[in-house]
Amino acid sequence: MENRVKKYREEAGITQEGLAQQAGVSRQSIISIEKGQYVPTTILALKISKLLKAPVEDLFVLEKKDWK
């Protein structure tokens, strides 16, 4: 799954720590999501979407390989 969390976070002027605090997770969780090492739960993805004011579909994009 491709994610664009870092791009949207930086455009919003929010730090990893700030996003983590607002979402109720650790900074390490945000780092792992941005690096594609961790796929967030649906609830966390929706929280991030609201905090970054971006549709969840813009933040997290299914790739062809995800359908296999």
What is the span of the domain harbouring residue 11?
A: 2-67
Three-state SS letters, the chain = CEECHHHHHHHCCCCHHHHHHHHCCCHHHHHHHHCCCCCCCHHHHHHHHHHHCCCHHHHEECCHHHHC
| pTM for the structure as a whole | 0.91
For residue 68, the model assigns a pLDDT of 80
Residue-wise pLDDT tens digits, 4-41: 999 999 999 999 999 999 999 999 999 999 999 999 99
Q: What is the CATH number of the domain that holds 27?
A: 1.10.260.40
Q: Specify the number of domains making up the chain.
A: 1
**Tell me, what amino acid is at 61?**
V
